[in-house]
Amino acid sequence: MEIFRQEIILGVIVLYMALCVLIGIWSMGRTRSAGDFFIAGRNLGPIVVSLALFASTLSGFGFVGGPGLVYSVGVSSFWMVVISATAFGLGFFLVAKRIRMIAELRGCMSIPDVIAARYGSELARGLVALTIVLGVLGYLATQILAMSVVMQSILADTESFADISLLSCVALSSAVLVFYCVTGGVIASVYTDVLQGLVMVAAGFLILITAMQVFDGGLREAGEIVLADDSETMMPFGAAGIITSLGWFFVFGIGLAGQPHIVTKMMMNRNLADNRSILPLSLLGYMVSAFLWISIGLVMRAAVVGGSAEPLALPDDAAATFLAMFASPLLAGIVFAALFAAIMSTSDAFLNIGTAAIIHDIPRALRGRPVRNELFCARVVTVILAVVAAGFALFSHYRDATLVALLGAFGWGTFAASLFPVLAIGLNWKRATTAGAVSAVVSALAVNFIVQLAGITLPWGISGGLAAFVTSLVLFFAVSYATPRPRLARDIDRMMDI
Amino acid sequence: MDRSIAGMIFTTVLGMAAILLLIGFTEAPENAAGMAHGEIPAMRMGGDGAARLADIGGLVFAFNCLLLWFTVLLCTLSVSPGKRTPAFFGWMAAVFVTNLIVWRQMYFGHQAFLANGETGWFLGFPAATAWQVYGMWFSGVILIAVYSGGFRSYILSESDERRFEQLLRETRADAEPDSSAD
């Protein structure tokens, strides 16, 4: 079996990709309107929404960057994972019911639609749409680049594709993603998410079992090795320190309710009451998949510190090295398929919300009306968006990483800072005003941009995302209180009373 | 009621912002956010943990207490005032107290380790880290149990669903003349 290692890995990945393409073809007949394309006609069952929700939450970062962070800074990065139960709970308390209600009440197809309905402001809609487009470009570029680099490394070890270029890998991986996103819109996206979610759960569980067997004493022995080398790394705040850890707690825990690719899924369920089962199912899937994040990083750090593995050139090599050293070819194939699944499930969500922002929200904010033939335009823009993001990815890889790094700043932290107050609090607090919402979005973008552009390093490991989040929250409340009480539309006012 | 809860949230946010500012103006030791591992590239280490907490430990402890209070307030804000029964407040208090206990055990467990260099182990992790890994997941699960188990009591009752259906019917009826005019 070892002799055919690369072929087995490649076979599992090809099988996974083929299933994604088949789901795209199957979904094409079910996508008849822009509403189907963007929010699946609000007609999805609880299991589908649960899997789609958690699969979108755990991106390629969770499978590559997460173990890399544990390898690099130890327990610090656990904070992004262990906060998930509170994060999901808070997200559902604040957003799930009201966003589903407002979506049905006003026929909303996107987060900027929801913002426009809540605040009665096209300016707020436009700003949020712009934030989403910038964030989508950064996220997509990094995801496509990660997917292509992994694909190249797998293919390079086979005889037939040993010299394959990165450009070919970008084209190959993007083609599958774009195919099912264009043909089936969000319906294909959520049903591939179901497949992707299941693959990720299987990978997380199997990796945990494998990781526990690497050392005779299980994870405890790995922990003891790490503790003996540097005790802080194995203690609750890790090598990165207490402020960085709590910053991640804040941004990842509270900020989940401000992630557009996640909360958009909360608009898609058939029945409002389904939320009671969607929440625990989503969390269960996420927690099992996240075992991979914690266990790979910890075992690889212990293996290197203990001298049983060579030091890694980059922390992000932790997952690939672990698979090469400790996993059977079939398990490695499943985990690589899960990695593609994690990347693609997040990417398709971003393609979808980015397309909605471009063809649905920005025209409405600027001209007061949507474009004609939204469904056709959505398909064209999906392709263009993916091509532009792939272009950014290649430009970043070969010429200058600054552009993608800059757009990458519009990642989780910026979405959390700019959208959490406006959306998660705004849907529950009638006193929130348009001026407060605009202040929150603008300040979040400004703080993140300034920190990134000026290369500012804040003391104690305070992240730009945390500074932006706290600033936007303060301004959201302060400006809302300082401006006259808003007059809400009658239907929104009544909806917020329920 | 919403006014007072929103006011409490704003006050809590101001408190967290003030603490962050105070921390920002406190001189940081060299290893505040970690330092390069002496022997292994691409790996970082924490170094002297006591030095990292010496000047800001109390502030950070208070910051996280406020953060935990903030999450409970946000959940409360999301529940309609009519459904904020004594039982609901009891559950929120349970979530907050559980979170505080976990945070206290984690923080002071780490302090105790820094003082004496000894730690117990629980399911693969040092005691303080085990409180983080298992305790934080558990306290979040209580929140989820309140949401799912108390869904009809606190989130969306059957009469709420009927009210929403009524609102939908009225809104659609109001919209019909406009659409026919188009």
Domain locations in chain A? 2-395
**Are A461 and B3 in contact (CB < 8 Å)?**
no
Task: Indicate if the pLDDT at residue A63 is higher than 60.
Answer: yes
**How are beta strands B44-45 and B35-36 bridged, if at all?**
antiparallel
- Mean of the pLDDT values across residues A123-136? 90
- Mean of the pLDDT values across residues A257-263? 90
Give A-chain residues touching B151 at CB under 8 angstroms. 273, 275-276
**Are B49 and A83 in contact (CB < 8 Å)?**
no
For residue A407, what pLDDT band results from cuts at 50, 70 and 90?
A: low
Tens of pLDDT along A410-422?
678 888 999 999 9
**Are B161 and A273 in contact (CB < 8 Å)?**
yes
Give A-chain residues touching B26 at CB under 8 angstroms. 459-460
CA-based nearest residue in chain B for residue A463 = B33
So what's the pLDDT on residue A164? 87
C-alpha–C-alpha distance, residues B141 and B172, integer Å: 39
Give B-chain residues touching A279 at CB under 8 angstroms. 144, 147-148
**Are B110 and A101 in contact (CB < 8 Å)?**
no
Phi, psi of B33 (to 5 degrees): -115, 30
Give B-chain residues touching A491 at CB under 8 angstroms. 167, 170-171
DSSP of A172-231, one letter per residue? HHHHHHHHHHHHHHHHHHHHHHHHHHHHHHHHHHHHHHHHHHHSTTHHHHHHHHHHHH-H
Interchain contact A277–B (C-beta under 8 A): yes
CA-based nearest residue in chain A for residue B168 = A105
C-alpha–C-alpha distance, residues A181 and B110, integer Å: 48
Per DSSP, helices labelled H in A5-77 are: 5-28, 34-39, 46-57, 60, 66-73
**Are B24 and A312 in contact (CB < 8 Å)?**
no
Per the CB < 8 A criterion, the answer to whether A252 and A87 are in contact is yes
Element holding A404 (H helix, E strand): helix A402-408
CA-based nearest residue in chain A for residue B8 = A477
- Provide the residue type at A116 as one letter: A
- Mean of the pLDDT values across residues A428-446? 95
Per DSSP, helices labelled H in chain B are: 2-25, 49-54, 57-78, 86-116, 127-130, 136-149, 158-181
The residue written with tokens 């004496």 in the block is B116
Q: Which of A227, A461, A471 sits opposite B32 (nearest CB)?
A: A461
- Mean of the pLDDT values across residues A174-180? 82
The residue written with tokens 């990458």 in the block is A408
Residue A141 CB partners (closer than 8 Å, separation 6+): A389, A390, A392, A393, A396, A404, A407, A408
Element holding B125 (H helix, E strand): strand B125-126
The residue written with tokens 């979530």 in the block is B95
Q: Give A 438-497 residues with CB within 8 A of chain B.
A: 458-462, 466-467, 470-471, 473-474, 477-478, 481, 491, 494-495, 497
- Mean of the pLDDT values across residues A180-204? 81
Least confident range of A38-42, A165-169, A221-225, A249-253: A38-42
So what's the pLDDT on residue A394? 82
> Using CB atoms within 10 A of its CB, is residue A161 exposed (0-12), middle (13-18) or buried (19+)?
middle
For residue B180, what pLDDT band results from cuts at 50, 70 and 90?
A: very low
Give A-chain residues touching B131 at CB under 8 angstroms. 236
CA-based nearest residue in chain B for residue A238 = B46
Q: What is the mean pLDDT of chain A?
A: 87
CA of B13 to nearest chain A CA: how many angstroms apart?
6
Token readout for A450 is 């300034």
Angle value at C-alpha A251, between A141 and B65, nearest 5 degrees: 170
Phi, psi of B125 (to 5 degrees): -130, 150
Predicted-complex ipTM score = 0.93
For residue B181, what pLDDT band results from cuts at 50, 70 and 90?
A: very low
So what's the pLDDT on residue B179? 43
Closest C-alpha to B74, from A116, A79, A248, A86: A86
So what's the pLDDT on residue B75? 97
Q: Is A107 left (phi over 0), alpha (psi -120 to 50) or beta?
A: left
CA-based nearest residue in chain B for residue A458 = B24
C-alpha–C-alpha distance, residues A59 and A339, integer Å: 8
Interchain contact A101–B (C-beta under 8 A): yes
So what's the pLDDT on residue A195? 80
- What Å distances lie between residue A10 and A254, A329, A331, CA to CA? 38, 10, 12
For residue A434, what pLDDT band results from cuts at 50, 70 and 90?
A: very high
Give A-chain residues touching B77 at CB under 8 angstroms. 94, 425, 428-429
Give A-chain residues touching B155 at CB under 8 angstroms. 93, 97, 275-276
**How are beta strands B121-122 and B125-126 bridged, if at all?**
antiparallel
DSSP of B96-112, one letter per residue? HHHHHHHHHHHHHHHHH
C-alpha–C-alpha distance, residues A304 and A296, integer Å: 12
Q: Which of B37, B99, B164 sits opposite A498 (nearest CB)?
A: B164
Give A-chain residues touching B171 at CB under 8 angstroms. 105, 491
For residue B67, what pLDDT band results from cuts at 50, 70 and 90?
A: very high
- Mean of the pLDDT values across residues B119-137? 94
**Are A242 and B148 in contact (CB < 8 Å)?**
no
DSSP lists the bridge partners of residue B122 as B125
Per the CB < 8 A criterion, the answer to whether B48 and A67 are in contact is no
Task: Indicate if the pLDDT at residue A123 is higher than 70.
Answer: yes
- CATH code for the part of the protein at A2-395: 1.20.1730.10
Q: Which of B32, B75, B126 sits opposite A234 (nearest CB)?
A: B126
Torsion of CA A297, A302, A305, A310, to 10 degrees: -70
- Mean of the pLDDT values across residues A141-156? 81
- Mean of the pLDDT values across residues A334-358? 83
Q: Give A 410-439 residues with CB within 8 A of chain B.
A: 424-425, 428-431
Q: Which one of B27, B61, B137 makes the best mutation probe of the A interface by having the most chain A beta carbons within 10 Å?
A: B137
- What Å distances lie between residue A36 and A435, B71, B129, CA to CA? 33, 34, 45
**Are B132 and A253 in contact (CB < 8 Å)?**
no
Q: Which of A250, A467, A497 sits opposite B67 (nearest CB)?
A: A250
Least confident range of A27-41, A50-64, A314-328: A27-41
